[in-house]
């Protein structure tokens, strides 16, 4: 009897967005607590652990991604206003930014190209399909922008979204170690590199280090999204004509 009631409740809940939204928030807050509890161990990055936990949960309950996303979209939607909100930390670092304008511009443009072509090159060398290569190209750019670029150049936007998230997680995990190895102490340099290579997830990690690193990461992310969106489709088109 109780089992039948539970089944009825499940049927009802699985058709409303409430469940998808709630499990996203609950999973994330648990993942975040685990991360804090493990003294911010980068391997337990809360995006990584919550994505894996939700993935397992959805597979075990036989729920489709579309059903989950009916609730998940409310969280996903906030990426838009959050992108706009990056203008505020950027503005707060304005005076420092003015002094560094030219080096930042040079770094952003070369970084955007290196990010795109190194991933295409490595994937091609290792025999990935063309569609996978093209979906990988905008991987260092923030998700909403990367999906647009991917569509434009002939990749799969939803695959790009996943690769973007994975790139961000990798960047957040290796960033601090790499900067330590390279003996970089300047938060503005670290921030720019983080934002260009690991977009929003790297930026979230950078804000945990210092607000200066976070602001510069936001700057690197915003400018490289802009640069990649403008240059990459045009350049790939041009290279295609040469072949």
Residue 223 beta carbon to another protein: minimum distance, rounded to whole angstroms? 10
Nearer to another protein, 7 or 78 (CB): 78
SS3 64: coil
How far apart CA 236 and CA 147 sit, in angstroms, is 16
Query: Would you tell me the crossing angle of helices 187-209 and 157-181 to the nearest 10 degrees?
Result: 110
Q: Applying CB under 8 A, does 28 fall inside the site for another protein?
A: yes
CA distances from 230 to 138, 147, 199 (A): 12, 14, 17
Q: Applying CB under 8 A, does 34 fall inside the site for another protein?
A: no
Q: Which stretch binds another protein (CB under 8 A): 6-14, 36-44, 55-63, 235-243?
A: 55-63
Residue the block writes with tokens 């003294």: 39
Residue 94 · residue 116 · CB < 8 Å: no
Q: Applying CB under 8 A, does 65 fall inside the site for another protein?
A: yes
Q: Which of residues 139-178 bind another protein (CB under 8 A)?
A: 139-140, 142-145, 148, 152, 156, 158-159, 161-168, 170-171, 174-175, 178
Nearer to another protein, 27 or 209 (CB): 27
Q: Which two tokens stand for residue 117?
A: 């072509």
Q: Which of residues 74-113 bind another protein (CB under 8 A)?
A: 75-76, 78-92, 94, 100, 102-104, 106-107, 110-111
How far apart CA 44 and CA 36 sit, in angstroms, is 9
């Amino acid at each position: 009897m109780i089992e039948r009631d539970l089944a009825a409740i499940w049927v009802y809940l699985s058709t409303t967005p409430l469940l998808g939204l709630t499990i996203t928030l609950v999973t994330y807050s648990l993942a975040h607590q685990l991360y804090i509890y493990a003294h911010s161990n980068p391997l337990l990055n809360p995006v990584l652990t919550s994505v894996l936990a939700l993935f397992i949960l959805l597979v075990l309950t036989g729920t489709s991604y579309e059903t989950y996303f009916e609730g998940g979209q409310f969280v996903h939607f906030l990426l838009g206003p959050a992108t706009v909100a990056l203008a505020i930390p950027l503005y707060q670092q304005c005076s420092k930014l003015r002094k560094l304008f030219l080096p930042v511009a040079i770094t952003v443009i070369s970084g955007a190209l290196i990010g795109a072509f190194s991933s295409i090159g490595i994937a091609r060398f290792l025999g990935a399909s063309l569609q996978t290569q093209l979906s990988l190209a905008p991987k260092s750019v923030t998700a909403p922008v990367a999906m647009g670029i991917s569509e434009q150049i002939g990749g799969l936007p939803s695959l790009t979204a996943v690769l973007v998230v994975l790139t961000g997680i990798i960047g957040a995990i290796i960033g601090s170690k790499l900067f330590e190895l390279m003996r970089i102490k300047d938060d503005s340099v670290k921030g720019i590199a983080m934002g260009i290579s690991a977009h929003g997830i790297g930026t979230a990690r950078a804000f945990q280090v210092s607000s200066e690193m976070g602001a510069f990461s936001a700057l690197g992310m915003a400018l490289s999204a802009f640069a990649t969106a403008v240059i990459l489709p045009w350049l790939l088109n041009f290279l295609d004509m040469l072949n």
